Structure 1
Amino acid sequence: MNWSIRPDKRFRLALGSFVEEYNNKVQIVSLDEETSEFIPRSIFEHPYPTTKLMWIPDTKGVFPDLLATSGDYLRVWRTSDNETRLECLLNNNKNSDFCAPLTSFDWNEVDPNLIGTSSIDTTCTIWGLETGQVIGRVNPVSGHVRTQLIAHDKEVYDIAFSRGGGGRDMFASVGADGSVRMFDLRHLEHSTIIYEDPAHHSLLRLAWNKQDPNYLATFAIDSMEVIILDVRIPCTPVARLNNHRSCVNGIAWAPHSACHICTAGDDRQALIWDIQQMPRQIEDPILAYSAEGEINQVQWSSTQPDWIAICFNNNLEILRV
């Protein structure tokens, strides 16, 4: 699930199905402002479940209207009011029938021609896209490998670009070896380990603070706790958010505030936390919402910061903060 950030499409979401077989679907929904209801705009077939989907981070509306999905490969789709069609399939393993599934990806906000993917084969790959700005004619989208690196000792489960250092070259990844590692595209010969889980449990997701690039959040598999890290103080969490009563599945920083984050999990709870009192212990969230099922996704809208989307079972709900 992902919110569109185009100024003319700010009430639009893309959703992916999760069926453990080949045939899956992606649906695009948007708000009908006359009826105040979200309605389906487009649906298309997708091979295998999407591990992530993301609209191009185009805040000015100057790029083609693109949607990327990860699964067996990275795919880039072009959307319009009438249809969604595949623009390109990006495969870095052309000499084999075997593909290492992609666990996640991130689209660089400062340079939308960069996409980074993470894979179970221990690597991260940075792709360069040739999208072309919209200047009256439609150019096909294509891509090439900028770099591929062995990022972890085991599977890599997530990757995210940081807004630090200019916002283009810094990214971090998490994986089955239980570490958070930080990389710089300008100096890929080494990485910095920001954190290692004491029990070496797999870390599933990470998210950078949208306003302060010193902070990021992560959580381990089957963990009820979200860990906040400060890259200036490696290896020591500056906060632990642990009010969930079952495992955490998703985290989303506020797009407009450096001190608010939303967490969601199998306890059916979506919790919003105020972390400005760090490093003092944060006891309780400031807001809580109970859904009718285990929440597996949470996304905070950057164009409509008082809206948070959650997914549970086969439902999408929009929460107003």
Structure 2
Amino acid sequence: MENSTQESHLRSDNSITYESPYPIYAMAFSSTPSVANLNHQRIALGSFIEDYGNRVDVISFDPETLSIKTHPTLSFDHPYPPTKLMFQPNRKSPSSSFSDLLASSGDYLRLWEVRESSIEPLSVLNNSKTSEFCSPLTSFDWNDVEPNRIGTSSIDTTCTIWDIEKGVVETQLIAHDKEVYDIAWGEARVFASVSADGSVRIFDLRDKEHSTIIYESPQPDTPLLRLAWNKQDLRYMATILMDSNKVVILDIRSPSIPVAELERHRASVNAIAWAPQSCRHICSVGDDTQALIWELPTVAGPNGIDPLSMYSAGSEINQLQWSAAQPDWISIAFSSKMQLLKV
């Protein structure tokens, strides 16, 4: 397939902006429509205040009227800035209890029940043997095949797999030589992680003694910050390096050599997300204020790959989510704004 050099711009008339009272970092789309209105989708937003006291707000978005609704009762205090927020994936329909499960990471893994007009804390999952100290969690991922399972990554070099229904640790692995920055599930029992040691490693819970290194930073010990596993085609994953304008696309069948490197950002890439409905599209955002959508060609040309479309925000974009329930909507966060873009 020829790679197109023509860039198209995401239309600004198909974007909607929400301004928060504080800087935003963590974001999550719910996997089901709101029970109060089936056209609406819930979005959780976490504050980034360098202090103990932080907030999480749950707002709702109506793609038909391009409107955002705030709910004063759907907001709660969060200790420290949440490093990640995620709603329980693959809930097929709103349950009779009219509630959503939301998880957050920070000092601990916490579960919250989001009801129609209130949010209740459900559990605080802490695997620290000493109650006075805990190693901060950098990220987590919710297993969409077995939704009772969540994996967390920590600065203490470990990944911990929780059975959230029983509230117990299934297993804890020393995953890397340095801090683990992100974790992503592939299959029910297979996950991968990235670390400050510069490696991407794949683990299988059926064989906890071994892991497979499928990529290492070209410069030794350049940290890998984020990892996204392509849920439409599990052969592919993407990662980003610290202070790098590249998105590295990996094929787990051919370890060590990336199948593509997307290098059109003009500053550091901060977040990546695969399209939920297509195995060949991925979005990246960065310090150059750009959100770029890429279509991966069957064969990359000699001059690299150009983005399919691009969008410029008001300042450095630090976070990105692609809605699985409404796949033509992407959300980005920059400073205290959350912007929804129709793609």
- Give 1:32 deviation, angstroms: 4.7
| TM-score calculated relative to the size of structure 2 | 0.86
| 1:299-318 equivalent positions in 2, closer than 5 A | 299-318=321-340
- Given candidates 10, 29, 49, the residue that maps to 1:3 is 29
Alignment of 1:1-321 (within 5 A): 1-8=27-34, 11-32=41-62, 36-41=66-71, 42-61=74-93, 65-130=100-165, 142-162=166-186, 167-199=187-219, 200-281=221-302, 282-321=304-343
Partners of 2:131 and 2:47 in 1: CA distance: 28
Alpha-carbon distance in structure 2 between the residues aligned to 1:148 and 1:14: 28
Higher relative contact order (CA 8 A, sep 6+): 2
Runs of at least 5 residues in structure 1 that lack an aligned partner in the other structure: 131-141
Cα deviations by residue, 1:31-51 (Å, 9 ceiling, x for unpaired): 257853112222110000000
1:134 corresponds to? none
Q: Flag the 1:201–1:33 CA change in 2: closer, same or farther, 3 A.
A: closer
Give the direction of change, closer, same or farther, for the CA distance of 1:33–1:181 in structure 2 (3 Å limit): closer
Superposed CA RMSD: 1.5
Unaligned runs of 5+ in 2: 1-26
Counterpart CA distance in 1 for 2:209 and 2:125 is: 25
**TM-score (normalised: structure 1):** 0.92
How far does residue 8 in structure 1 lie from its aligned partner after superposition?
Answer: 4.5
Q: Give the Cα–Cα distance (whole angstroms) in 2 for the partners of residues 104 and 58 of structure 1.
A: 20
The one-letter code matched in structure 1 to 2:244 is S
CA displacement 1:254-298 (0-9 Å, x = unmatched): 011111000000100000001023354542101000001110111
CA–CA separation in structure 1 for the residues paired with 2:158 and 2:200: 14
**Identity score, percent:** 58
Aligned length in residues: 306
AA aligned to 1:317 is Q
The alpha-carbon deviation at position 208 of structure 1 amounts to 0.6
- Secondary structure at the residue paired with 1:190? strand
Cα distance in 1 between the residues matched to 2:157 and 2:110: 20
Q: After superposition, what is the alpha-carbon deviation per residue over 1:3-56, rounded to whole angstroms, capped at 9, x for unaligned? A: 111144662111100010000000101025785311222211000000000000
Moved over 4 A (4+): 7-10, 32-35
